[in-house]
């Protein structure tokens, strides 16, 4: 099937992008609302916030690889549709919560939906656009997502502070429903069918492809580094904002929004780039260095404006990381393997997150917020530097091939 290279004339992709953008506003708004409710309403400590993430991560970890297998056998579009309905369902326990335990239930349901959606998105995008447009397409999608980060958390924080927490959750529900309706305009394109084998064998093939391909193997290590440090950041940021910067729920929402401004800028640059394809590993590594520097500026200061600047830089780095890693998987993995490889990547990333969340939960009061954030920033920068060296080796290997 001939696919238009110009994204602006690719109607199937635009329908999906519209659905993804609207749904992302709801996703980030829900994420912030859940964090804020746990921190400010139920006075959660670092261990309880870590449990909130660990539950989500465990569910995602167990289901994402099998979901990739189902995606490669079935329909990415309808997998995303089911995930969208689960996202609506996940809001209800938080809406009617009486204790932090209800938020744990919301996290479980949301994790199930995310495990279904991530491999399906990795498969569907590559079925809607040609290979040479993959970096730009993922940059375009993450531009839409980062617009959501700018407005979603800030709006949720303002609604919760100046109206009510319930109103914020009802707005999130209606946005998710709107995203589902827009998704119906996306055509039901499916990957070509490979040879059917047992479920365990099919999932293991995803691991095999991810390990055999040098670029994907490098991505495994870079992604695990990014996810560990991101987990530390997300789990401890509410406490840092409350106890070190002395800001309330709206301040937390503002930080997420300014992170989104940086992410929007980074993703927008990639959406217009025509030279990034084939250089993803190098650019991903650079993105981790940039994010690490921003992370260090954020965590190393008590000055609000300087922390905002660091947050913007983090946003630029993580936007590049997300867009380029998605495009790399879609370029290197075969059509009938994209769901499984995306699922495997998600599984390994999230296992790193689970270990990190569990460590924070177990240590509890021993976790000193600022030192942990500063150490994580240094680890992120070091991972990026090692990735740059790995990208150089991969380039030399490619040039040496006959």
Report the mean per-residue pLDDT for the chain.
80
Pair 48, 137: CB distance under 8 Å: no
Predicted pLDDT of residue 149 = 66
Pair 377, 299: CB distance under 8 Å: yes
Predicted pLDDT of residue 160 = 62
Predicted pLDDT of residue 400 = 53
**Which DSSP letter does residue 133 get?**
G
For residues 332 and 398, what is the distance between their CA atoms, to the nearest angstrom? Answer: 14
Predicted pLDDT of residue 182 = 92
Poorest-confidence range of 173-177, 198-202, 236-240, 372-376? Answer: 198-202
Contacts of 117 (CB under 8 A, 6+ apart): 79, 80, 83, 84
**Of the candidates 229, 225, 247, which has an alpha carbon nearest to the alpha carbon of residue 238?**
247
For residues 106 and 34, what is the distance between their CA atoms, to the nearest angstrom? Answer: 9
Whether the pTM exceeds 0.75: the reply is no
For residues 23 and 84, what is the distance between their CA atoms, to the nearest angstrom? Answer: 8
Domains and their CATH numbers in the chain: 10-187+198-400 (1.20.1250.20)
Pair 128, 3: CB distance under 8 Å: yes
Query: pLDDT > 70: what percent of the chain?
Result: 85
Pair 241, 293: CB distance under 8 Å: no
Predicted pLDDT of residue 87 = 92
The CA-based angle 327-331-336, given to 5 degrees, is: 115
Predicted pLDDT of residue 258 = 77
pLDDT range class, residue 364, cuts 50, 70, 90: low
pLDDT range class, residue 90, cuts 50, 70, 90: very high
Checking if the pLDDT of 85 tops 90, the result is yes
Pair 30, 179: CB distance under 8 Å: no
Give kind and range of the element (H or E) at residue 399: helix 369-400
- Top pLDDT among 181 and 230 is at 181
HSE-up of residue 286 (Cα within 13 Å, Cβ side): 12
Predicted pLDDT of residue 397 = 63
Rg (CA), the chain: 20
**Of the candidates 116, 109, 117, 123, which has an alpha carbon nearest to the alpha carbon of residue 52?**
109
| Counts for the chain of helices (H) and strands (E), in that order | 13, 0
Pair 381, 202: CB distance under 8 Å: no
3-class secondary structure, 401: coil
- Top pLDDT among 297 and 45 is at 297
Poorest-confidence range of 65-69, 101-105, 312-316? Answer: 65-69
- Note the pLDDT tens digit of each residue in 245-279: 777 666 666 776 777 778 778 877 777 777 777 77
Using N-to-C axis directions, what is the helix angle for 304-332 and 134-162, rounded to 10°? Answer: 140
Checking if the pLDDT of 232 tops 70, the result is yes
Predicted pLDDT of residue 215 = 85
For residues 139 and 152, what is the distance between their CA atoms, to the nearest angstrom? Answer: 19
For residues 206 and 69, what is the distance between their CA atoms, to the nearest angstrom? Answer: 9
- Note the pLDDT tens digit of each residue in 299-353: 887 777 888 888 888 888 888 888 888 888 888 887 777 777 877 777 777 777 6
Checking if the pLDDT of 117 tops 70, the result is yes
Average pLDDT of 106-119? 90
Predicted pLDDT of residue 19 = 92
Checking if the pLDDT of 39 tops 80, the result is no
């Amino acid at each position: 099937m001939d696919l238009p290279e110009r994204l602006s004339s690719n109607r199937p992709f635009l329908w999906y992008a519209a659905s993804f953008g609207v749904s992302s506003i709801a996703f980030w708004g829900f994420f912030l609302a859940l964090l804020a409710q746990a921190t400010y309403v139920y006075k959660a400590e670092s261990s309880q916030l870590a449990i909130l993430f660990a539950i989500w991560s465990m569910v995602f970890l167990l289901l994402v690889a099998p979901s990739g297998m189902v995606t490669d056998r079935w329909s990415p579009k309808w997998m995303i549709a089911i995930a969208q309905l689960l996202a609506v369902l996940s809001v209800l326990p938080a809406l009617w919560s009486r204790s932090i335990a209800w938020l744990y239930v919301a996290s479980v349901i949301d994790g199930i939906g995310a495990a279904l959606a991530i491999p399906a998105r990795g498969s569907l995008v590559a079925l809607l656009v040609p290979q040479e447009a993959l970096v730009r397409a993922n940059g375009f999608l993450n531009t839409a997502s980062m617009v959501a980060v700018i407005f979603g958390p800030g709006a949720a924080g303002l609604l919760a502070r100046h109206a009510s927490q319930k109103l914020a959750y009802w707005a999130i529900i209606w946005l998710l429903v709107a995203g589902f309706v827009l998704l119906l305009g996306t055509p039901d394109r499916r990957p070509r069918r490979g040879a059917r084998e047992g479920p365990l064998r099919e999932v293991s093939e995803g691991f095999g492809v991810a390990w055999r391909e040098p670029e994907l193997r490098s991505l495994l290590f870079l992604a695990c580094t990014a996810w560990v440090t991101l987990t530390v950041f997300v789990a401890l940021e509410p406490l840092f904002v409350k106890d070190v910067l002395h800001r309330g729920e709206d301040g937390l929402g503002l930080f997420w929004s300014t992170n989104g401004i940086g992410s929007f800028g980074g993703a927008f640059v990639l959406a217009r780039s025509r030279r990034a394809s084939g250089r993803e590993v190098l650019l991903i590594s650079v993105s981790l260095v940039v994010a690490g520097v921003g992370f260090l500026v954020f965590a190393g200061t008590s000055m609000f404006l300087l922390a905002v600047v660091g947050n913007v830089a983090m946003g630029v780095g993580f936007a590049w990381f997300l867009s380029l890693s998605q495009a790399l998987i879609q370029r290197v993995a075969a059509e009938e393997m994209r769901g499984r490889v995306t699922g495997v990547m998600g599984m390994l990333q999230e296992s790193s997150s689970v270990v990190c969340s569990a460590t924070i939960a177990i240590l509890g009061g021993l976790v000193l917020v600022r030192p942990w954030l500063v150490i994580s920033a240094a680890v992120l920068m070091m991972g990026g530097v090692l990735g740059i060296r790995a990208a150089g080796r991969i380039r030399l290997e490619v040039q040496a091939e006959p």
